[in-house]
């Protein structure tokens, strides 16, 4: 089966055919770096990481250019820096670093390129100039605005008519706009906030022009896939299309638009006022990143996903089962020629991760039953390659079960206690040997005795 993706632009699932048969370009809107990432922010990161892994398998690592930007100039950043009493640079550096750490903990590989908006201001000024020259933009009170009436197709991506756009209150009403749906390309900056010189005075770009310029700089006028959360379809992506098509030529820009659905927490929309904002950092203190990742992949990306602590627990249990199977296969080497076709087929069907996980569980059950060594080696190869496509089973099973978190009893301490227990048993001091077993159990360490000796794992 060839890769099929649901394209928001055509509102149907389409076969993915890259512009250049040998190379794929993908742009995903990255974070605005003003705060620590919440679990909703991780959803596009993990989904597009799975898509990038799939594309790299199909086209080769060197033939996939996955670009995810950093929005490091935006009004939310200015407001947050002021509220924190922190410089803008300190804030954006700190939150970008935390974002990288959190996403890596959830098993997301870095994109190939990560442009920052502040590195592309010259390109933005240039594109805005072209839009003005071509009659798609106008200057008013130090602002430059995109004239939506200059583009016949405006609203096509989101399928909104003009009344919906305005009624949705997602457009800022301002007296200097010719039309309420016109949006800002450039705005003036007071002396104490970030600004760059431009033909329209010292100012800063609007958010939408940043992505039009960064995607063009990295991937050209036309590229294959553009992704992000579905909240970005309007106005952000609609406006990116308007800017890029009007500046670069009709019919240019992204060919496949892929949008992930929203994540709720315990049935509610995440919001600061409800106090149910869950940061990735907090969640990582409760469960390993791979378990959070599996939980994220348990719903299809276009569906809503309700994040619950029961779901995370279940995901951890499911991952433990997968690692148990992998550990039981330690008697064989993985046959690396094996591709998990069932996992691959599921992902090629519009990134169907629940189906891909079911395929991994089926491989795990097969591993538990299979006794033939050649077959076991094949299953191990498939479990690992399928896991790799999903960014799961990335650790050695021993490390998974025995890996310590901060404050946990260490492997050395456990091994020493196991030796002491053997000695106690030899001396028929069963009270002490039971005490050691029970005290380890209280700390989440389970001992398993066998004729070959005692092994242990964290549960």
Count residues contacting ligand AMP (CB under 6 A)? 15
Residue 270 touches which of Zn ion, ligand AMP, none (Cβ within 5-8 Å per kind): ligand AMP
Which sign does the torsion angle of CA 346, 352, 353, 354 carry? Answer: negative
Q: Is 123 in the site for ligand AMP (CB under 6 A)?
A: no
Q: How far is the CB of 116 from Zn ion (least distance, A)?
A: 13
CA–CA dist 171, 235 (Å, integer): 8
CA–CA dist 319, 323 (Å, integer): 6
Residue with tokens 């908006």: 117
Q: How far is the CB of 270 from ligand AMP (least distance, A)?
A: 5
Residue 211 touches which of ligand AMP, Zn ion, none (Cβ within 5-8 Å per kind): Zn ion
The alpha-carbon radius of gyration of the chain (Å, integer) is 26
Q: 306 forms bridges with which residues in the sheet?
A: 264
CA–CA dist 339, 144 (Å, integer): 53
Among 263, 326, 356, 357, binds ligand AMP (CB under 6 A): 263
Q: Is 397 in the site for ligand AMP (CB under 6 A)?
A: no
CA–CA dist 173, 167 (Å, integer): 11
Q: Is 232 in the site for ligand AMP (CB under 6 A)?
A: yes
Q: How many helices (H) and strands (E) does the chain have?
A: 16, 15
Maximum alpha-carbon separation in the chain: 92
Do 187 and 142 form a contact (C-beta atoms < 8 A)?
yes
Nearer to ligand AMP, 270 or 367 (CB): 270
Q: Is 41 in the site for ligand AMP (CB under 6 A)?
A: yes
Do 56 and 96 form a contact (C-beta atoms < 8 A)?
no
Other CB atoms within 10 Å distance of the CB of residue 139:
16
Q: Is 206 in the site for ligand AMP (CB under 6 A)?
A: no
Nearer to ligand AMP, 113 or 432 (CB): 113
Q: How far is CA 280 from CA 292, 358, 439, in A?
A: 9, 25, 32
Do 328 and 369 form a contact (C-beta atoms < 8 A)?
no
Residues 269-298 interacting with ligand AMP (rule: CB under 6 A): 270
| Token couple for 337 | 């020629």
**Burial degree of 250 (CB within 10 A; 0-12, 13-18, 19+):** exposed
Among 3, 24, 29, 356, binds Zn ion (CB under 5 A): 29
DSSP per-residue codes, 265-328: ETTEE--TTTT---BHHHHHHHS-HHHHHHHHHTS-TTS-EEE-HHHHHHHHHHHHHHHHHHHH
Q: Is 211 in the site for Zn ion (CB under 5 A)?
A: yes
Residue 40 touches which of Zn ion, ligand AMP, none (Cβ within 5-8 Å per kind): ligand AMP
Q: Which stretch binds ligand AMP (CB under 6 A): 28-36, 62-70, 105-113, 281-289?
A: 28-36
Residues 360-379 interacting with ligand AMP (rule: CB under 6 A): none
Q: Which stretch binds ligand AMP (CB under 6 A): 9-17, 179-187, 229-237, 422-430?
A: 229-237
Nearer to ligand AMP, 296 or 340 (CB): 296
Q: Among 186, 137, 146, 144, which Cα is nearest to 165's?
A: 146
Nearer to ligand AMP, 59 or 262 (CB): 262
Nearer to ligand AMP, 86 or 333 (CB): 86
Residue 41 touches which of ligand AMP, Zn ion, none (Cβ within 5-8 Å per kind): ligand AMP
Q: Is 211 in the site for ligand AMP (CB under 6 A)?
A: no
Q: For 201, left (φ over 0), alpha (ψ -120 to 50), or beta?
A: left
Q: Which stretch binds ligand AMP (CB under 6 A): 26-34, 369-377, 387-395, 429-437?
A: 26-34
Do 334 and 387 form a contact (C-beta atoms < 8 A)?
no
Q: How far is the CB of 227 from ligand AMP (least distance, A)?
A: 8
Q: How far is the CB of 448 from Zn ion (least distance, A)?
A: 51
Q: Which stretch binds Zn ion (CB under 5 A): 5-13, 208-216, 264-272, 443-451?
A: 208-216
Q: For binding to Zn ion (CB under 5 A), which residues are involved?
A: 29, 211
Q: For binding to ligand AMP (CB under 6 A), which residues are involved?
A: 29, 31-32, 40-41, 43-44, 228-229, 231-232, 260, 262-263, 270
């Amino acid at each position: 089966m060839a890769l099929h993706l649901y394209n928001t632009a055509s509102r149907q699932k389409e076969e993915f055919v890259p512009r250049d048969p040998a190379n794929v370009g993908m742009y995903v809107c990255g974070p605005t770096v003003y705060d620590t990432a919440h679990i909703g922010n991780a959803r596009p990161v993990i989904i597009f990481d799975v898509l990038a892994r799939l594309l790299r398998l199909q086209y080769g690592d060197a033939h996939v250019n996955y670009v995810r930007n950093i929005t490091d100039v935006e009004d939310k950043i200015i407001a947050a820096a002021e509220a924190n009493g922190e410089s803008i640079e300190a804030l954006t550096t700190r939150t970008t670093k935390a974002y990288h750490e959190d996403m890596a903990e959830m098993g997301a590989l870095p994109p190939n390129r990560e442009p920052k908006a502040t590195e592309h201001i010259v390109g933005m000024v240039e594109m805005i100039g072209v839009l003005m020259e071509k009659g798609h933009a106008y200057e008013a009170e130090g602002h430059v605005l995109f004239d939506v009436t200059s583009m016949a197709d405006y609203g096509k991506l989101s399928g909104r008519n003009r009344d919906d756009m305005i009624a949705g209150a997602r457009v800022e009403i301002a007296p200097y706009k010719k039309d309420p749906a016109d949006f800002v390309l450039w705005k003036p900056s007071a002396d104490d906030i970030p600004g760059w010189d431009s033909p329209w005075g010292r100012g800063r770009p609007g958010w939408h022009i940043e992505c039009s310029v960064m995607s063009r700089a990295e991937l050209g006028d036309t590229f294959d896939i553009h992704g992000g959360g579905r909240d970005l379809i309007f106005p952000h992506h609609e406006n990116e299309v308007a800017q890029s098509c009007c500046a670069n030529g009709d019919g240019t820009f992204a060919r496949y638009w892929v949008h992930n659905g929203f994540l709720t927490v315990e049935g509610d929309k995440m919001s600061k006022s409800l106090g149910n904002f869950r940061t990735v950092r907090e969640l990582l203190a409760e469960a390993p990143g791979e378990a959070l990742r599996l939980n994220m992949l348990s719903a299809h990306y276009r569906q809503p996903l309700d994040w619950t602590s029961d779901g995370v627990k279940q995901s951890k249990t499911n991952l433990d089962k997968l690692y148990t199977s992998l550990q039981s296969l330690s008697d064989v080497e993985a046959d690396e020629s094996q591709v998990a076709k069932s996992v691959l087929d599921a992902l090629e069907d519009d990134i169907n991760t629940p189906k891909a996980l079911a395929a991994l569980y089926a491989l795990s059950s097969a591993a538990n039953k299979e006794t033939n060594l050649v077959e076991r080696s094949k299953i191990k190869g498939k479990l690992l390659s399928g896991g790799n496509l999903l960014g799961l089973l990335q650790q050695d099973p021993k490390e998974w079960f025995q890996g310590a978190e901060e404050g946990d009893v260490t492997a050395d301490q456990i091994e020493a206690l196991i030796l002491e227990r053997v000695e106690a048993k030899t001396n028929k001091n069963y009270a002490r040997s039971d005490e050691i077993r029970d005290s380890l159990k209280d700390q989440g360490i389970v001992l398993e005795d066998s004729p070959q000796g005692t092994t242990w794992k964290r549960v």
